[in-house]
Structure 1
Amino acid sequence: MPKRGYHHGNLKQALVDAALILIEEKGPQGFTLSEAAKAAGVTPAAVYRHFEGRENLIAETARQGYEIFADLMEYAYEKGQPSALASFEATGRAYLAFARKHPGHYMAMFESGISVNASPELARVAARASGILEKAAAELSQHIPEDKRPPAAMFSAHIWALSHGVVELYARGTPGARTPFPPDELLESGIGIYLRGLGLIPPDD
């Protein structure tokens, strides 16, 4: 008798859903393709109908994560309009919110070692996500004199790195005990210091 799920309508998505649970439990490198098949209720051989190996499964999980991430970033950006500053700050907060709400996707995207160029589809949606933050940075910095204005790609990369650092060090798991400050406050104050350094917001009194 075939295993449960062998003939269900969306085996590919069932495997991704199984991978998300395993990633959250064991990390992106802590499970096998056979474990993913078992969790999805199919035989290991059935997995190869959709994925050549575990890396392909993780890459698809990451791709779906970037789709969610880009949608969230875009929503945050649009919600902040017409203020360029509000839009920029909202995209930073959206990064932290995504990591908290979608830890399996986040780990597949940023902790698996999978390159964003693993597939054209993954590269496209990853570029879409980074492009939203870059657009917000370009709009916010357009009033800085050109000779003092950092490239929008560098500006957004700095904020991305700051957001990623707060998430990795303080927003996920036990490392959060290392600081008496909530991750949201750390990120907000860090972005504020950066923007003040560029003269984009007034100094504190």
Structure 2
Amino acid sequence: MSKRGYHHGNLKQALVEAALKLIAERGPQGFTMAEAAKLADVSAAAPYRHFTGRDDLITELAVQGFELFADVLEYAYKDGQPSPLAAFEAVGRAYLAFARAHPGHYVAMFESGLSPRATAALAAASSRANAVLLRAAGDLSARIPADKRPPTEMFAAHVSAMSHGIVELYARGAPGARAPFSPEDLLESGIGIYLRGLGLLDRDDC
């Protein structure tokens, strides 16, 4: 009896879900289209009804991931409430929470080598997520005198790089395996040091 490749209720999303599991376990180059098809319980030829190949499938994972990421960041930011600093810190925590809760999406978005401009859909989704980071950074850095204020894009990039580094080094696997601190504590203290260096926090502030 043939598999459900031509009668699947939602073949495209079934392949996405299968690929999310595989990419989280093996990385972006660690699975084949045939393996994704097998996990989705469809024929080996069925994926090509929706995707030209593995890269095209990973791009779809990244698009969906950035849309979800933007939703998470927007919810965390809440229009800068209750203060620009609190909202900024909430965005940082949301970054870590997203990476932990959606490892397959995260790998596709940030570790697959995809350009965020690879397709129009990916560019739109990534820009939407980045806009939240830029808004949070801009609202907070507005408190710095203009002649001492870093470009908003640089401010946001520094915090994104810090967040990504903590995800890579300390948020994978068992908590506490590589450091006696939680990823959240590491990020909070790192952001605190960065903000104090910019004059946005007093030295005695936590």
TM interval, shorter chain, is: over 0.9
The answer for the alignment partner of 2:22 in structure 1 is 22
CA deviations 1:106-144 (Å, max 9, x no partner) are 111111112212211011110111110111111111121
Q: CA deviation at 1:25?
A: 1.9
In the other structure, the counterpart of 2:142 is 142
Note the C-alpha offset of 1:6.
3.4
3-state SS, counterpart of residue 178 of structure 1 = coil
TM-fit CA distance, 1:166: 0.4
Counterpart-to-counterpart distance in 2, 1:82 and 1:22: 40
Q: Which residue of 2 aligns with 1:116?
A: 116
Instruction: Name 2:32's counterpart in structure 1.
Output: 32
AA paired with 1:78? K
How far apart, CA to CA, are the structure 1 residues paired with 2:170 and 2:147?
36
Q: Compute the displacement of 1:204 (Å).
A: 1.6
Q: Determine helix, strand or coil for the equivalent of 1:70.
A: helix
- TM-fit CA distance, 1:175: 9.0
Would the aligned equivalents of 2:24 and 2:104 in 1 still touch at CA under 8 Å?
Answer: yes
Which amino acid is 2:113 matched to? Answer: G
Bigger Cα displacement from structure 2, 39-48 vs 184-193: 39-48
For the pair 1:162 / 2:155, whether they are aligned, the reply is: no
What displacement does 1:82 show?
A: 3.7
Match in the other structure for 1:172: 172
Q: What is the RMSD of the two structures over their aligned residues, measured on CA atoms?
A: 1.5
Percent identity of the aligned residues? 69
Is the 8 Å Cα contact of residues 80 and 136 (structure 2) preserved in structure 1?
Answer: no
Range that drifts further, 194-203 or 148-157: 194-203
Does 2:65 correspond to 1:65? yes
Amino acid at match of 1:180: P
The answer to which of 112-121 and 14-23 deviates more is: 112-121
Q: What 5-or-longer segments of structure 1 have no aligned partner?
A: none
Aligned to 1:151: 151
Q: Distance in 1 between matches of 2:175 and 2:27?
A: 16
- Structure-2 residue corresponding to 1:203: 203
Aligned equivalent of 1:126:
126
Runs of 4+ in 1 over 2 A off after TM superposition: 173-176
CA distance in 1, matches of 2:83, 2:13: 39
What's the counterpart of residue 104 of structure 1? 104
Aligned-pair CA distance for 1:5: 5.2
Q: 1:111 to 1:199 in 2, by over 3 A?
A: same
Render the CA deviation track for 1:53-101: whole Å, top value 9, x for unaligned.
0000001011111111110000000075141111111111110000110
**Cα separation, 1, equivalents of 2:138 and 2:79:** 17
Q: How far apart in 2 are the matches of 1:120 and 1:106?
A: 19
> Structure 1 length as normaliser, TM-score?
0.95
- Checking the alignment, whether the CA contact within 8 Å between 1:92 and 1:163 is kept in structure 2 is yes
- Aligned residues between the structures: 205
Change (3 A) 1:41 1:6: farther
